[in-house]
Amino acid sequence: MRLSNLQKFILKKCYNSKSFRISRNKFLEFYKDSGKAKKESQVKVITGSLESLIDKDLMLGFGVRTKSKWFIREVGLSTKGVKETQKLISQQLKLKLK
């Protein structure tokens, strides 16, 4: 399954969390080092990634869902998400060698 770097970060952050639910504000740490993107665009990208992970059944979203929009406040890993995260953690990093 193909996942972006942000989605991998979100999965690992949830996996290492002590509680089952984690607030979505914790995922802004991904953009901590690079101050290029604005706060509003960071939130939109994180929301899109969370919705994508929920659609893939890797995460559970907690919040309010209206007819046309999600308001996700907290997320948690599903059993499929735990297995996928364990695969991500066990994979060896690739070196960029010439």
* Helix intervals (H) in 16-93: 39-55, 79-90
Q: What are phi and psi of 70, to 5 degrees?
A: -95, 140
pLDDT digits (tens, 9 = 90+) for 12-46: 999 998 888 899 888 888 888 766 778 788 888 89
pLDDT digits (tens, 9 = 90+) for 44-91: 889 999 999 999 999 999 999 888 887 899 999 999 999 999 998 888
pLDDT of residue 35: 65
Q: Which of 35, 75, 83 is nearest to 59 (CA)?
A: 75
| Residue 95 pLDDT exceeds 80 | no
Task: Characterize the bridge pairing of strands 22-23 and 70-77.
Answer: antiparallel
Structural domains for the chain: 5-89 (1.10.10.10)
pLDDT of residue 76: 93
